Structure 1
Amino acid sequence: MTILDTLKKRRTIYQLNKNMPVSDEEVIQVINDVTELTPDAFNMKSARVIVAMNDNHDALWDVIYDAFEGKVSKEKIQTFKDGYGTVLYFIDDQVVENLQEQFALYADNFPVWAQQANGMLQYGIWNALADLNVGASLQHYNPVIDKAVKEMFNVPEHYRLIAQMPFGGIVQEAEPKEKEDITQRVKVFNG
């Protein structure tokens, strides 16, 4: 499979279940590998990941529902809880701040670069899960859930929650992606 095949395979999958096509060890290994291999500016390694599976995953989505005090539908939260696990993505702001102090000339760029690296990590893990035939979607219930998540997983205060990625067995594949006129977004000047 080529990287383009993987990119085409990766889709937002909302219909998940707890029937994983691979072992927990394979999922964790892929997450570890992608986290280690994802590049970032100044090799800052500011991204942090927590993987909640099984009962921890279920409890997480209960905590998320409770944090919204009924303002998010129970049915929507249940679609994420129906999955097998959730990858929580963080930025370690302490790492970013230390580099801002060390390299004052670039200080304003480090928060941006940390976000870029985290986005690459999210996309890399999402694609790697797709390679394993594991479905996933990317969610953003932060900052409403930040305090509850930090308490639940004993997360250091200097970790900032960026996104949540519920994953699991695929109940229903995503609809085919509509082809776009890519020339509206990509311009080529050759010569």
Structure 2
Amino acid sequence: MVRNFKEAIKNRRSYYGLKNSSSITDGEIKEIIEFVVTHTPSAFNSQSTRTVLLLGENHKKLWQITKDILKKLLPEEAFKATESKINNSFESGYGTILFYEDMSVVEHLQKSFPTYKDNFPIWSYQTSGMHQFAIWTLLEDNGLGASLQHYNPLIDEAVAKEWNINPDWKLMAEMPFGIPAETPAEKQFSPLDKRVIIYK
């Protein structure tokens, strides 16, 4: 689609209706992720973000694991609504990207720069957020819809076991994606004069 940067940011939205198809190849999806992981900034150039791309049956397995865990935790009626949401908004998509932060990197920085010890976990979250936003925007710009989910930490242990995730990696978010099945509602914006302050 190749929008300019401002257009790409403007058009990024949360898509909760997804189809199990893709507008680009698996190789192109991988290329987007690798490009963002390579070029997104991080505090002290820590490069602490890790990603896992789940496609095909692995994608479906993630959401089955999520449903199995939630079924044990939620009342029956509440689980029915959650199950429907997962089936139609996340599992129905083409794939899911898992975003992790390597806590061994964070801990190393804490030891190396004790003055900033308390800030490194915060900066790690900021780094992850930048990666999430950049990948989300590029997926959108290539004709894919996505949303950002946070079933962590409920699913962390089961997911780590299933895909042999490094124990130092902390799950931050899950991003299901696919061809949009519906158009999101018009986005509402709070007044900018309450959110942007300028002094000259």
Query: Common fold, TM-score beyond 0.5?
Result: yes
Matched, 1:158 2:158: no
Deviates more, 1:71-80 or 1:102-111: 71-80
Find the aligned partners of 1:35 and 1:86 in 2 and give their Cα distance.
Answer: 16
The Cα of 1:17 is off from its aligned counterpart by 0.6
Find the aligned partners of 1:6 and 1:173 in 2 and give their Cα distance.
Answer: 16
Find the aligned partners of 1:99 and 1:180 in 2 and give their Cα distance.
Answer: 38
The Cα of 1:180 is off from its aligned counterpart by 3.1
Matched, 1:121 2:131: yes
The Cα of 1:115 is off from its aligned counterpart by 0.6
Aligned with residue 140 of structure 1, among 150, 164, 182: 150
Find the aligned partners of 1:149 and 1:114 in 2 and give their Cα distance.
Answer: 21
* 1:53 match: 55
Matched, 1:35 2:37: yes
Find the aligned partners of 1:171 and 1:77 in 2 and give their Cα distance.
Answer: 14
The Cα of 1:47 is off from its aligned counterpart by 0.7
* 1:101 match: 111
The Cα of 1:179 is off from its aligned counterpart by 3.7
Find the aligned partners of 1:151 and 1:88 in 2 and give their Cα distance.
Answer: 14
One-letter amino acid of the structure 2 residue matched with residue 142 of structure 1: N
Find the aligned partners of 2:106 and 2:15 in 1 and give their Cα distance.
Answer: 32
* 2:192 match: 182
Find the aligned partners of 1:76 and 1:148 in 2 and give their Cα distance.
Answer: 21
The Cα of 1:82 is off from its aligned counterpart by 0.1
Percent identity between the aligned chains?
38
* 1:130 match: 140
Q: CA RMSD in A?
A: 1.0
* Per-residue deviation, residues 80-123 of structure 1 (Å, max 9, x unmatched): 10000000011110010011111111111111111100000000
Find the aligned partners of 1:180 and 1:63 in 2 and give their Cα distance.
Answer: 37
One-letter amino acid of the structure 1 residue matched with residue 86 of structure 2: I
Q: Which 4+ residue blocks in structure 1 deviate beyond 3 angstroms? A: none
The Cα of 1:129 is off from its aligned counterpart by 0.4
Count matched residues: 190
The Cα of 1:133 is off from its aligned counterpart by 1.0
Find the aligned partners of 1:99 and 1:178 in 2 and give their Cα distance.
Answer: 40
* 1:169 match: 179
Aligned with residue 69 of structure 2, among 52, 67, 70: 67
Matched, 1:76 2:85: yes
Deviates more, 1:49-58 or 1:104-113: 104-113
One-letter amino acid of the structure 2 residue matched with residue 64 of structure 1: T
SS at 1:186 equivalent: coil
Find the aligned partners of 2:154 and 2:4 in 1 and give their Cα distance.
Answer: 38
The Cα of 1:12 is off from its aligned counterpart by 0.2
Find the aligned partners of 1:122 and 1:179 in 2 and give their Cα distance.
Answer: 21
Find the aligned partners of 2:20 and 2:174 in 1 and give their Cα distance.
Answer: 17
The Cα of 1:178 is off from its aligned counterpart by 2.2
TM-score by length of 1: 0.96
Gaps of 5+ in 1: none
